[in-house]
Amino acid sequence: MTTAMRPQHLQRPAYVSLRQSTPGQVHTHRESTERQYALAAQAIELGWDRSQVQILDQDLGKSGTTAEGRADFHRLMAAVGLGEVGAVFALEASRLSRSQADWHKLMDICALTDTLIVDQDGIYDPNAFNDRVLLGFKGTWSHTELHALR
């Protein structure tokens, strides 16, 4: 896993993506919501100016099994695709999407635009082979968990 961020990452905004699967989880698991909002402070500690940290919290209470109805996921994909994001923060990277197709699209776009992924386990560069393997495993594991839940 990469530990070095380059100056070009800090020149672009950091996007903090928040998501919990159901409105009930948002209501009963408030500590998870608070931990997700706290990722903004982590971005600032890593060097982003407060004004560069964008909070995406409109997907709270929405399932990640599909991108349908997830306005902030679409906003994130568009901004990353335009090369406007230095890093995407999530409490757990695989929670960005439970859909393998959407997950891998996001990873591919992050690689093309040199956008980092940051979660509680570390900082990942989708262009670095080992990081890409770990991210792929996280996405596969998330999909497997979804299958088990069904």
Cβ-Cβ contacts under 8 Å for 99 (sequence gap 6 or more) = 64, 65, 66, 67, 143
97 as an active site residue: the answer is no
Q: Which of 21, 94, 99, 142 is catalytic?
A: 21
How far apart CA 121 and CA 93 sit, in angstroms, is 9
Instruction: Say if CB 17 and CB 35 are below 8 A apart.
Output: no
Sign of CA dihedral 61, 67, 70, 73: positive
In degrees and rounded to multiples of 5, residue 111 shows phi and psi of -65, -45
How far apart CA 22 and CA 81 sit, in angstroms, is 28
Question: How many degrees, rounded to 5, is the angle at CA 123 between CA 118 and CA 129?
Answer: 120
Q: How many CB atoms neighbour CB 54 within 10 A? A: 20
Query: Catalytic positions, please?
Result: 21
